[in-house]
Amino acid sequence: MIATAPPVAGLDELLLAMADDEFVIGFSDSEWTGIAPMLEEDVAMSSLSQDELGHAAALYALLGGVTGQDPDAIAYDREPGAYRHARLLDQGRGDWAMTIARRYLYETADSVRLEALADTSWQPLADLVGKLRREERYHLMHVGAWLERLASNDGEARHRLVTALETLGPHAGTVFTPLESEGPLVEAGVLARPMAELEKDWRTRVTDTFEPLGLPLAPATSDPWLGRTEHGEAFRWLWGEFTSVRRSDPAATW
């Protein structure tokens, strides 16, 4: 799929993984528009998911600049099997607790990943990561507030949160699925450290939050090497949704 060689080998793989993550979680969470637990939260979650889609658009645009492809074509014109988002984001919208659990696991992982890219040697990415980190700070605050509230409730809210974390646990670490081109990326100073090291940092941070709240920690990732390539039925459905307008008239100018 590469039209021109990227300035650093593997840059396209990294950008695609990040863009697909933001795109899929953004689209999944936008499903709450109109049905969130309360009006204010409905607006908040819709706005957060728009932020994620905005981040995805910026990352697809960077990727398009590297590969010579149209960013919209990258976002919408692939078959479901060609998406490279983490399997953590593949479990379907679920209930509110599932959404908060998934957002928490993803946002904390994304923030560790963005930190590892803060001083990236590829300047266009460094510029974008600086902006993304400023916005993600708010995202972390928002989802952290919800996690704490659901966890501190002795009733159904906590029960649902624990169930969601147990369901997502085996997939939680897939944000750090090793990239094929990870070696060259680290060597070129694009990525500060290998994904496996970032995952360790992330687990330490999540543990620091989860232990006092008595929440279940994510076990080791199942099939870690397939973390970004095996997408199930829930994603196929989501893909059908988010490509439906585009597929209805592929030649249309938007």
Partner 1 sequence: MSRASVRQAGSDAPTLEAWEVFRQEKDGDPMRHGGSVMAPDVELAMHYAREMFGRRQESVRLWVVRRGDILDLEDPDLLQPPLDRSFKKPGGYVMREKLAAAREAAGQEKPKARSR
- Binding test (CB under 8 A) with partner 1, winner from 1, 3, 34, 38: 38
Confirm if 136 and 111 have CB atoms less than 8 A apart.
Answer: yes
3-state helix, strand, coil in the chain (%, to 5): 70, 0, 30
Contact pattern from residue 143 through residue 162 relative to partner 1, giving x for each residue in contact according to CB under 8 A and a dash for the rest: --x---x---xxx-------
* Distance, CA of 40 to CA of 189 (rounded, Å): 42
The token pair at 98 is: 């599932």
Q: How far is the CB of 166 from partner 1 (least distance, A)?
A: 22
Residue 43 in contact with partner 1, rule: CB under 8 A? yes
Q: Does 35 bind partner 1 (CB under 8 A)?
A: no
CB 119 within 8 A of CB 192: yes
- Confirm or reject binding of residue 39 to partner 1 (CB under 8 A): yes
| Interaction between residue 141 and partner 1 (CB under 8 A) | yes
Tokens at 67, concatenated: 């590969």
Distance from the first to the final alpha carbon of the chain: 24
Is residue 137 part of the contact set for partner 1 (CB under 8 A)?
no
Q: Which stretch binds partner 1 (CB under 8 A): 20-28, 34-42, 106-114, 197-205?
A: 34-42
Which one, 112 or 150, has the nearer CB to partner 1?
A: 150
Determine which residue in the list 138, 225, 245, 250 makes contact with partner 1, applying CB under 8 A: 138
Site string for partner 1, 92-131 (x = CB under 8 A): ----------------------------------------
Element (H, E) at 103: helix 96-115
Stretch that binds partner 1, among 22-30, 36-44, 163-171, 206-214 (CB under 8 A): 36-44
Q: Give which of 15, 55, 165 is closest to 103, Cα–Cα.
A: 165
Instruction: Kindly tell me which of 35 and 145 has the beta carbon lying closer to partner 1.
Output: 145
Show contacts with partner 1 in window 177-206 (CB under 8 A): none
Minimum CB separation from partner 1 for residue 44, in Å? Answer: 4
DSSP state of 145: H
Subset of residues 44 to 63 that bind partner 1, contact rule: CB under 8 A: 44, 47
Q: DSSP secondary-structure letter at 6?
A: -
Sign of CA dihedral 224, 230, 236, 241: positive
Task: State the amino acid at position 201 in one-letter form.
Answer: D
Residue 203: how many other CB atoms lie within 10 Å: 20
Specify the length of the chain in residues: 254
Q: Of these, 142, 160, 171, 228, which contacts partner 1 (CB under 8 A)?
A: 142
Which is nearest to 233 in space by CA: 21, 98, 81?
81
Q: How many of the chain's residues bind partner 1 (CB under 8 A)?
A: 15
Provide the binding-site residues for partner 1, judged by CB under 8 A.
38-41, 43-44, 47, 138, 141-142, 145, 149, 153-155
